[in-house]
């Protein structure tokens, strides 16, 4: 905790009020997602239409992000009206409004890649204006202050990459929502235990909203996040990780560890495609989770194994700030080894398993849509 920052005083009235916010996020998200997935909203929003690359046989709404976002914002806006708020959250909301709006327009129809990039850049600049920036290279036992220009450039790249990588990884029912539950739950625990209840409250509401959405998104999904949901979750992951660093709750690498199942897969895949001289802006199926599904593991087996990985990474992230320096380096080395072994294992499974294309599919099979680059 930052000793110069005043801590919210939780009296007998404030604590129940704070506890009600994530509960409201959970139930409101489930209700809104269920309503958006029902026939009552048919034809009123973007739909994911089946094509030759899809495994879902009927159109599925791509409006789940609206359920998640509204379920986070409404309870927190009510609390803000009661005087419980944080200035950093206001900057997050401003950036979120930009990114969510352009992403929803993209769900409705194609938006220029340059327009999306410009909007992501504007959102990143808003976070920086709100004081959420990468100013220190903080590794176990190493702390170097970054020059302002270098720190600003790295912050822009980090935020824009998090927005896009979350979008890239949203290609399997229950996957992006599950990462949000585990990743933001880890940040929430770090916030509450570190004496920053407002930070913990925001992270808890996001995790709760994602959990409510999963009730409708778990395979076979009746609704998808859409770009508005996945891009917004990526922005929130970047924003809260920088906010937590600013508060002194954890070093930035701790937040990276919490979201490492997405960060490592997306980054590794992008670099591999660049090395193969592929057109990275074209749809593909080369993420590790996609390769496992196509190799015959199936959707639910891949998803549940992914949840185990997410839970382990989140648990290690929560524990990491309290470890000794040499233990932190051992932890980072262990996770580096784990991800290398996962990469090797995926290749072995591809060579020894029956490809999904050789199996019969049914209307109940979940989607396996290509990812936007």
Give the mean pLDDT of 126-153: 94
Residue 285: the pLDDT is 81
**What is the pLDDT at residue 33?**
94
Domain for residue 184, yes or no? yes
Asked, for residue 14, whether it belongs to a domain, the answer is no
Q: Residue 40 domain-assigned?
A: yes
Any residues with CB less than 8 A from the CB of 361 and at least 6 apart, and which? 55
Q: In this predicted structure, what is the pLDDT of residue 39?
A: 65
Question: What are 332-370's pLDDT values in tens digits?
Answer: 999 999 999 999 999 999 888 766 555 444 333 344 444
In a domain, 75, yes or no: yes
**166-198 pLDDT per residue, tens:** 998 988 899 999 999 999 999 999 999 999 988
The model's pTM is 0.89
Specify the number of domains making up the chain.
1
Long-range contacts of 217-221 (CB under 8 A, 24+ apart): 217/33, 217/64, 217/173, 217/174, 217/177, 218/173, 218/174, 219/173, 219/174, 219/299, 219/300, 219/303, 219/366, 220/56, 220/173, 220/364, 220/365, 220/366, 221/56, 221/60, 221/173, 221/174, 221/366, 221/367
> At 9, is the secondary structure helix, strand, or coil?
coil
- Of all residues in the chain, the percent with pLDDT exceeding 70 is 85
In which domain, by residue range, is 335 found? 20-358
- Whether residue 142 is contained in a domain is answered as yes
pLDDT greater than 70 at residue 9: no
Domain membership flag for residue 101: yes
- Asked if residue 277 belongs to a domain, the reply is yes
Reading the block at residue 270, the tokens are 């992008």
The residue ranking higher by pLDDT, 85 or 144, is: 144
**Is 7 contained in some domain?**
no
Banded pLDDT at 14 (limits 50, 70, 90): low
Q: Is residue 325 pLDDT above 70, yes or no?
A: yes
Nearest to 283 by CA among 365, 171, 120: 171
pLDDT tens across 259-299, in order?
A: 999 999 999 999 988 888 887 777 778 899 989 988 888 88
Q: What is the mean pLDDT of residues 225-247?
A: 96
Q: What percent of the chain has pLDDT over 90?
A: 65
Beta bridge partners of residue 143, listed in sequence order: 138
Nearest Cα neighbor of 212 from 200, 199, 202, 225 is 225
């Amino acid at each position: 905790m930052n000793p110069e920052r005043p801590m919210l005083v939780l009296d007998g009235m404030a604590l129940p009020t704070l506890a009600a916010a994530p509960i409201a996020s959970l139930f409101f998200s489930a209700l809104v997602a269920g309503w958006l997935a029902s026939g009552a909203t048919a034809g009123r929003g973007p739909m994911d239409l089946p094509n030759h690359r899809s495994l879902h046989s009927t159109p599925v709404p791509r409006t789940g992000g609206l359920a998640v976002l509204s379920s986070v914002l409404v309870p927190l806006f009510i609390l803000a009206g009661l005087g419980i708020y944080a200035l950093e959250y206001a900057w997050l909301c401003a950036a979120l409004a930009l990114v969510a709006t352009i992403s929803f327009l993209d769900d409705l129809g194609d938006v220029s890649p340059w327009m999306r990039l410009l909007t992501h850049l504007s959102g990143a600049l808003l976070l920086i204006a709100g004081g959420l920036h990468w100013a220190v290279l903080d590794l176990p036992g190493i702390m170097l202050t970054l020059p302002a220009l270098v720190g600003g450039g790295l912050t822009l790249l980090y935020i824009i990459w998090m927005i896009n990588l979350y979008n890239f990884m949203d290609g399997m029912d229950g996957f992006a929502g599950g990462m949000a539950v585990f990743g933001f739950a880890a940040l929430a625990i770090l916030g509450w235990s570190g004496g920053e209840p407002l930070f913990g409250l925001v992270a808890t509401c996001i995790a709760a909203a994602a959990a409510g959405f999963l009730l409708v998104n778990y395979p076979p999904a009746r609704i998808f996040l859409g770009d508005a949901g996945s891009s917004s979750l990526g922005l929130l992951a970047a924003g809260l990780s920088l906010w937590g660093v600013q508060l002194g709750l954890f070093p930035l690498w701790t937040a990276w560890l919490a979201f490492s199942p997405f960060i490592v897969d997306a980054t590794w895949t992008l670099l591999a495609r660049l090395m193969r001289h592929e057109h990275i802006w074209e749809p593909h199926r080369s993420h590790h989770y996609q390769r496992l599904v196509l190799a015959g593991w199936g959707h639910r087996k891949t998803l549940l194994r992914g949840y185990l990985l997410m839970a382990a990474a989140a648990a290690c992230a929560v524990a990491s700030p309290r470890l000794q320096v040499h233990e932190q380096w051992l932890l980072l080395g262990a996770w580096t080894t784990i991800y290398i072994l996962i990469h090797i294992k995926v290749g072995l499974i591809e060579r020894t398993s029956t490809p999904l294309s050789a199996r019969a599919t049914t209307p109940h099979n979940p989607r396996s849509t290509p990812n936007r680059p």
